[in-house]
Amino acid sequence: MKTGCVLVVPCYNEAHRFAAKEFRAFLSQRTGTSLVFVDDGSTDDTLALLKQLQAQVPERVDVLSLSRNVGKAEAVRNGLRRALEFPNVSSAGFWDADLATPLSAVDDLLTVMTNDAEIQMVFGSRVKLLGRKIERRPLRHYLGRVFATCASIVLKLPVYDTQCGAKLFRATPDLAAVLRDPFCSRWIFDVEIIARFLQLYGGTSPRRNLSQAIYEFPLYCWRDIPGSKVRPGDFLKAIRDLIVIHRRYLRHL
């Protein structure tokens, strides 16, 4: 029986804020989870810190070092492909290295997947509700809402938050197929993953099925971490990439 969860953590010049203590504590509390850190051609001490953590927990930590910076999209894709090679892996996902989403939320996402066999993907969603602690700068929030609306229109799915860096997938041959080729987008590969699933299944009826296979979990806690590499100007690049994704994967569906 497959029981393991493997989380991919893409890293690029994270030495100044790498939370090694939090990752070690997480691994000590969750015996069924492993981590794949992908160093995306960092020019600081990130790789050394990752290797240090790997030496401390060698059976639970894998480090994939890329020779040059290829961007978060390809770092995540390569990491997920490595994760699917783990023995007994039942779910694989990715998590932002800055821990804007705390690692405690992994259990929340896994519980959703465990309780419903139809769910193939669980996405963390930054919804500011009473009882939730979502600390997000207003400009990023409103740009995110505009982008999410555009993504929903293109995908024809009522997705609220495509870009939160906390996602889990069932480890299936379909996921492997979706990850086979490099992403065309460096900025919104999360949307491209959904578009690839839509293309894989094809047609209107599977789109309805996919809407039932994706679950958005309103996170209890999320906060902007200083040092984010995302800039407001990236919004225009994201809209451009959304058009490219539509033309490549969805135009004929």
Give residue limits of the domains in the chain: 1-97, 100-253
Distance in angstroms (rounded) separating the CA atoms of residues 147 and 244: 15
Per-residue pLDDT for 234 more than 90? Answer: no
pLDDT cut 90: percent of the chain above it: 81
- Token duo for residue 39: 């160093």
Which range (12-16, 177-181, 202-206, 229-233) has the least confidence? 202-206
Residues in the chain: 253
Q: Which residues of 94-133 are buried (b: 16+ CB within 10 A; e: fewer)?
A: bbbbbbbbbbebbebbbebbeeeeebbbbbbbbeeeeeee
| Phi and psi angles of residue 57, each rounded to the nearest 5 degrees, phi first | -135, 65
What is the pTM (predicted TM-score) of this model? 0.93
pLDDT in tens, 21-49: 999 999 999 989 999 999 999 999 999 99
Nearest to 57 by CA among 102, 15, 21: 21
Average pLDDT, the chain: 92
* Superfamily holding 1-97: Spore Coat Polysaccharide Biosynthesis Protein SpsA; Chain A (3.90.550.10)
Is 80 exceeded by the pLDDT of residue 206? no
Read off the pLDDT of residues 146-200 as tens digits, 9 standing for 90 and up: 999 999 999 999 999 999 999 999 999 999 999 999 999 988 999 999 999 999 8
Instruction: Report residue 232's pLDDT band, with 50, 70 and 90 as the boundaries.
Output: low
Show Cβ contacts of residue 43 under 8 Å, excluding neighbours closer than 6 positions: 13
pLDDT for 82: 97
Looking at the predicted structure, is the pLDDT value of residue 1 above 50? Answer: no
Other C-beta atoms within 10 Å of 208: how many? 12
